Amino acid sequence: MPAAVKLENVVKRFGALEVLKGISFDIEAGQVVALIGASGSGKSTALRCINRLEQIQSGTIEVCGHRVEDPALDPRSLRQDVGMVFQSYNLFPHMTVGENVMLALKRVKRMDRSAARKVAERVLRQVGLAEKIDNYPEQLSGGQQQRVAIARSLAMAPKVMLFDEVTSALDPKLTGEVLRVMEDLAKAGMTMVVVTHEMAFARRAADKVIFMHQGHVHEVGDASILTTPETPELREFLDHDL
Ligand SMILES: Nc1ncnc2c1ncn2[C@@H]1O[C@H](COP(=O)(O)OP(=O)(O)OP(=O)(O)O)[C@@H](O)[C@H]1O
Ligand SMILES: [Mg+2]
């Protein structure tokens, strides 16, 4: 079976600054990968390259059969298969929760209102917020808003989901609610790349942990590397992060 996501020797520069210095890793369908590392190590940039929010200078990225580095690729076709959730959830404040979730279904998938509403009901149920469908975002807690953002992404039926520090703006209780939703998704077989500082979550949910250091993939393994790291750099990162 081909990898769901495969990066080979990916180099990304911003001007003279080389942020990704030839990184390689692959992710099988259904796997959950935790991408960890210090601030500035290139985690967000790597995610953004996977979704072609950034163009790479060299190397290859394959995602669900799309050649991401190919300038001829239509990013919209890629993004039908790849959902992304950020730290800032960016819901539209003047639309209800349901309307936020339905927007892309209507605009991109050309669904009619009643079909889109059915999908919205299903994905909101999946994140535990069925009863909030007609509320406005400001009536929800931060954690609930982030779960709506996850539902909005799920509504498009992505094959891979990318999460970039989705809990870092939330207090511990709300963080727990969001992480539980993500663990449910993982159990349901979603392929996920999760940039996170939540090491307890990584231990529980990750099939693979990728530690980035100064633009390199420095150590890779299963969740046990979080307990018994091989490299001094990962050991030091874990000591400081916990
Ligand atoms: N658009 C950009 N233009 C110039 N430099 C950038 C750009 N985006 C990121 N960088 C630089 O690339 C490096 C890696 O940034 P990135 O956001 O990928 O790090 P990160 O590992 O996600 O860090 P954090 O944990 O703080 O989110 C940093 O030095 C950053 O300043
Ligand atoms: Mg980042």
Q: How many domains does the chain have?
A: 1
Q: How far does CA 142 lie from the centroid of its chain?
A: 18
First to last CA, the chain: 37
> What is the pLDDT at residue 1?
67
pLDDT in 10s for each residue of the chain, 242 residues = 678 999 999 999 999 999 999 999 999 999 999 999 999 999 999 999 999 999 999 999 999 999 999 999 999 899 899 999 998 888 999 999 999 999 999 998 999 999 999 999 999 999 999 999 999 999 999 999 999 999 999 999 999 999 999 999 889 889 999 999 999 999 999 999 999 999 999 999 999 999 999 999 999 999 999 999 999 999 999 998 65
What 3-state class would DSSP assign to 194? strand
| Domain assignment of residue 145, yes or no | no
Q: Tell me, what's the pLDDT at 241?
A: 65
Whether residue 214 is contained in a domain is answered as yes
Q: Which residues contact 100 (CB under 8 A, 6 or more apart)?
A: 91, 92, 137, 148, 152
On whether residue 222 sits in a domain, the answer given is yes
CA nearest 54: which of 80, 78, 24?
78
- 226 in contact with ligand 1, CB cutoff 6 A: no
Return the pLDDT at 88.
87
Pick the closest to residue 210 from 58, 54, 50 (CA basis). 50
Report d(CA 105, CA 103) in Å as an integer. Answer: 5
Task: Choose one of 14, 55, 56, 210 to mutate for the ligand 1 pocket test, by most ligand atoms within 8 angstroms of C-beta.
Answer: 14
Structural domain includes residue 219: yes
Residue nearest (by alpha carbon) to ligand 1 atom 26: 39
Tell me the CATH number at 176: 3.40.50.300
Task: Evaluate: CB of 14 within 6 angstroms of ligand 1.
Answer: yes
Q: Which domain holds residue 27?
A: 5-91+160-241
Q: Has residue 127 been placed in a domain?
A: no
Q: How far is CA 106 from CA 11, 38, 97, 139, 222, in A?
A: 37, 39, 15, 24, 40
Residue 211 phi, psi (nearest 5): -100, 120
- Is residue 66 one of the residues assigned to a domain? yes
Whether 235 is in a domain gets the answer yes
Establish if 26 belongs to a structural domain.
yes
- 0.75 surpassed by pTM: yes
Is residue 140 a contact partner of residue 148, using CB atoms and an 8 Å limit? yes
Contact 196 CB / ligand 1 (< 6 Å):
no
